[in-house]
Structure 1
């Protein structure tokens, strides 16, 4: 396996492309937006520069990584020679099904098709293809170049051989793969999202403030980041989507999204990516903090 195609040039997609290319895979990165592809390459280069500055990689490795990434706006062109296609589009089941139908029709017959979904059923996605035995989940963690875990999710029909290939492949990326079965939220988000949701409920019910809730979890439970700050980092819209999948999949009210989370998403307060969530990330706020430091 040498040729990898990544569909989606957002935060996860460019991180996945970066990791494969840095580990000597030829990578085709696909997105319908030329601007998104340009931004992805800039992000990858900036992250590589950071690694060079910390002596984690050499300048030669950086240049080789960038040379191994080619960009496309056409799925048909980008998947023609793929051994593996990794879909990293928005967490929307209908969109993913549409992309997988295209991937199935246009990719080589023996190619493995993987999804980076954080909660959507692998079995449901596989059902729209003619190669359900070759459909699998590769749930990378954000930021992809740094985080070691890859949740490898096998659907109902995923073959043992394909699962083993992806487990070994993940190790070649210097990741730690963990095999799990296809249930809503898998393991990572089945455990994480109820915690985040409970933190939002605690805020909603006035038990404590944002910084107080996060401080308790950081200092009391040794979490590197509090649940509300982590939710901002993930994206509140993504958290809401995952909770809806959990709630719909299990039918248990404990997974019902907190009304505060629902309202914040409706208001466009999505966290870091929108400039405001439970915390304020706007440029004016950053400038205010900097001025205070030097005043």
Structure 2
């Protein structure tokens, strides 16, 4: 069993840690917030218990929980074979994490950036091991989504890509390799859609439910764009669209003010209990 590191235990980090443990790996999952770690512990236990209910395998909850070590000490990732970073979509925050990981981890450790929009080459440039950095854009909920975007940076080596592909296969993922560009494929398109949907609500053209019903009813989408925003996290949507706006300097990525207002108000979607919709925080259902 290889030791895998996970940095950031928000919704995505919990999903990555869960998926890695289910794939048979030992996991050290780090977050500097003890409150987030405790919430993550509860989510992991719940997800392992409910795995079969949501179409996953029946799991030994005790064994799965024992495979994951939760810590607030980044130093405990020193011997990890691969570290998957999942923190907030903010380059300066990520930069600080990669600088510290570069000092802490052994020279053979690979870094995987789970980012929605930030270019992998930019993240890799702050390390002394750019050949050992690759991007994987996991989808939420991580254990249930079979496809990911695999993004090599400018310097990413073929050996790094091969090892990351092997890990993804172990996790039950089909990687689709795309070139390194802000937003990659999924969020280059999705963030525009969600941002424009938010503008419709902001301008009073339609309610969130009306926008989503058009997409569900007319196009056969299982979820509308604003339901999707709540699932991903309204704050993550805002940070991603801001990154696209900054990188491309194109007004089509101008963030909707409603997204900023909701983020400031703590209306982050399912993870906070309220976004475009209100949720039961225990079940994350509207």
Please state which band the TM-score falls in when normalised by the shorter chain: over 0.9
Deviation of 1:53 after TM superposition, in Å, equals 5.1
Deviation of 1:259 after TM superposition, in Å, equals 2.5
For structure 2, list consecutive stretches of 5 or more residues without a partner in the other structure: none
Deviation of 1:43 after TM superposition, in Å, equals 1.0
2:67 corresponds to 1:68: yes
Q: Give the TM-score, by structure 1 length.
A: 0.89
Q: Give the TM-score, by structure 2 length.
A: 0.92
Is the deviation greater in 32-41 or in 107-116? Answer: 32-41
Whether the 8 Å CA contact 1:22–1:64 is kept in 2: the answer is no
Give the 5 Å matches for 1:1-295: 2-52=2-52, 56-60=56-60, 62-76=61-75, 78-281=76-279
Partner SS state of residue 145, structure 1? helix
Whether the 8 Å CA contact 1:18–1:44 is kept in 2: the answer is yes
Partner SS state of residue 271, structure 2? helix
Whether the 8 Å CA contact 1:247–1:253 is kept in 2: the answer is yes
Deviation of 1:100 after TM superposition, in Å, equals 0.5
Is the deviation greater in 93-102 or in 270-279? Answer: 270-279
Structure 2 CA distance for partners of 1:39 and 1:204, relative to 1, 3 Å = closer
Structure 2 CA distance for partners of 1:59 and 1:131, relative to 1, 3 Å = closer
Partner SS state of residue 143, structure 2? coil
Superposed CA offset, 1:36-83 (max 9, x none): 2222122111111112456843354x332222111222111x222211
Deviation of 1:202 after TM superposition, in Å, equals 2.1
Whether the 8 Å CA contact 1:5–1:79 is kept in 2: the answer is yes
Take 1:273 and 1:255, find their aligned partners in 2: how far apart are those partners? Answer: 25
For structure 1, list consecutive stretches of 5 or more residues without a partner in the other structure: 290-295
Take 2:46 and 2:253, find their aligned partners in 1: how far apart are those partners? Answer: 38
Structure 2 CA distance for partners of 1:36 and 1:216, relative to 1, 3 Å = same
Structure 2 CA distance for partners of 1:98 and 1:143, relative to 1, 3 Å = same
Superposed CA offset, 1:193-229 (max 9, x none): 1011111222233332221111110111111111111
Superposed CA offset, 1:155-196 (max 9, x none): 111112211221222011111111112111111110101011
Partner SS state of residue 9, structure 1? coil
Take 1:217 and 1:85, find their aligned partners in 2: how far apart are those partners? Answer: 37
Take 1:132 and 1:106, find their aligned partners in 2: how far apart are those partners? Answer: 16
Structure 2 CA distance for partners of 1:198 and 1:79, relative to 1, 3 Å = same
**Aligned residues, how many?**
283
Take 1:110 and 1:253, find their aligned partners in 2: how far apart are those partners? Answer: 42
Larger Rg: 1
Structure 2 CA distance for partners of 1:282 and 1:14, relative to 1, 3 Å = closer
